[in-house]
């Protein structure tokens, strides 16, 4: 059976190993994730937002401009 001190040592060991590895991996995982998102999740059926247009009924009258 593991004691509390064994568990705390294991947590400290994991923190010492995995925190620096995580900071190091972030440098090359970010461009990799962006590349995968662009390659595999292209918005093929999404229309561009464009500009907002008013309906003909609410447009200003050119006589009053």
pLDDT in tens, 38-55: 888 766 665 566 566 555
Is residue 5 exposed (0-12), middle (13-18) or buried (19+ Cβ within 10 Å)?
exposed
pLDDT in tens, 51-64: 665 555 555 666 76
- DSSP category for residue 49: -
């Amino acid at each position: 059976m593991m004691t509390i001190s064994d568990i705390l040592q294991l947590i400290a060991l994991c923190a010492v190993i995995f925190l620096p590895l995580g900071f190091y991996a972030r440098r090359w995982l970010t461009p990799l994730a962006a590349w995968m998102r662009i390659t595999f999740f292209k918005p093929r059926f999404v229309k561009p937002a464009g500009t907002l247009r008013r309906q003909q009924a609410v447009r200003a009258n050119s006589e009053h401009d």
